[in-house]
Amino acid sequence: EPEVTQTPSHQVTQMGQEVILRCVPISNHLYFYWYRQILGQKVEFLVSFYNNEISEKSEIFDDQFSVERPDGSNFTLKIRSTKLEDSAMYFCASRGTSGGAPTQYFGPGTRLTVL
Amino acid sequence: DQQVKQNSPSLSVQEGRISILNCDYTNSMFDYFLWYKKYPAEGPTFLISISSIKDKNEDGRFTVFLNKSAKHLSLHIVPSQPGDSAVYFCAASEGGGATNKLIFGTGTLLAVQP
């Protein structure tokens, strides 16, 4: 069964450094998302991406964040200058078509630790 | 701004019995509701969804009930099995456009005792 994959599974970085989190969505999906979950809190929407552009972003997704689909398979989240409060699990998700249930399929996540 | 609430942080049931997980929402524009299951160190796994125009959807041991007037939904698991032990998240989506972002509740930790 197709699944969303994410790399790395765990990333440790120093405050102020740039990180890139990578995702390979399900191959025929058209809608892509990033969510995060700070330890002990709920899963929060960051950004959605469709037709090679951001379709919506949350207040969390400030100028330090960017997303890209550099080729036909990868979807990346870049944090330009990491802060301590960026430490969280980051989940990538993808969805197939518009219409019907908006079921999103999630990857296993990347645990980001900012020291 | 808690548009989706799961007021029970945890629930413990005996194997073979029914598990009932509850979720409340405030936004009447939500048109789909989804339940996800999450194990530690894994991503959320989709379980079942329901459209706002229905009041019940069933898939095997899982049934979701929607009470639109009360802005309440519940997930029933019958019979519960030890492998069902996980955190269950309720999520809601407001339709239309190219987003359909999911808004999650805080989750309920289900423990099924053998």
**Residue A83 distance to chain B (closest CA, Å):** 22
**Residue B7 distance to chain A (closest CA, Å):** 13
**Residue A109 distance to chain B (closest CA, Å):** 6
- Burial (Cβ within 10 Å: 0-12, 13-18, ≥19) of residue B12: exposed
Q: What tokens were used for B33?
A: 């509701």
CA distances from A32 to A50, B55, B96 (A): 7, 29, 15
H or E element, residue A12: strand A10-13
Q: Say whether residue B39 is in contact with chain A using an 8 A CB cutoff.
A: no
Q: Say whether residue B27 is in contact with chain A using an 8 A CB cutoff.
A: no
pLDDT of residue B40: 86
User: Between chain A and chain B, how many beta carbons pairs sit less than 8 Å apart?
Assistant: 73
Alpha-carbon span B77 to A92, nearest angstrom: 27
Could you give the strand order of the β-sheet that contains B72-77, starting from the edge strand earlier in sequence? B4-5, B19-25, B72-77, B62-67, B56-59
Q: What tokens were used for B78?
A: 């019958």
- The chain A residue lying nearest B50, using CA atoms, is A101
- The chain B residue lying nearest A30, using CA atoms, is B98
Sign, Cα dihedral of A112, B2, B8, B11: negative
Q: Do A104 and B107 touch (CB under 8 A)?
A: no
- If one compares A102 and B87, the residue with the highest pLDDT of the two is B87
Averaged confidence pLDDT in chain B = 94
Mean pLDDT calculated for residue range A93-106: 85
Cβ within 8 Å of residue A33, ≥6 positions away: A45, A46, A47, A48, A49, A92, A93, A94, A95, A104, B101, B102
Three-state DSSP string of B44-95: CEEEEEEECCCCEEEECCEEEEEECCCCEEEEEECCCCHHHCEEEEEEEEEC
Q: Do A102 and B93 touch (CB under 8 A)?
A: yes
Q: Closest partner residue to B44 among A43, A95, A98, by Cβ?
A: A43
Mean pLDDT calculated for residue range B2-6: 91
pLDDT of residue A96: 85
- Please tell me whether the peptide bond between B40 and the residue prior to it is cis, using omega within 30 degrees of 0: no
**CB contacts, 8 Å: A103 with chain B:** 34, 46, 49
pLDDT of residue A40: 85
Alpha-carbon span B82 to B12, nearest angstrom: 11
Most A CBs within 10 Å: which of B99, B103, B106, as the mutation test of the A interface? B99
Q: Closest partner residue to A42 among B51, B93, B106, by Cβ?
A: B106
**Residue B104 distance to chain A (closest CA, Å):** 6
- If one compares B99 and B82, the residue with the highest pLDDT of the two is B82
H or E element, residue A67: strand A65-68
Residues A60-93: tens digit of each pLDDT? 999 999 999 988 789 999 999 999 999 999 999 9
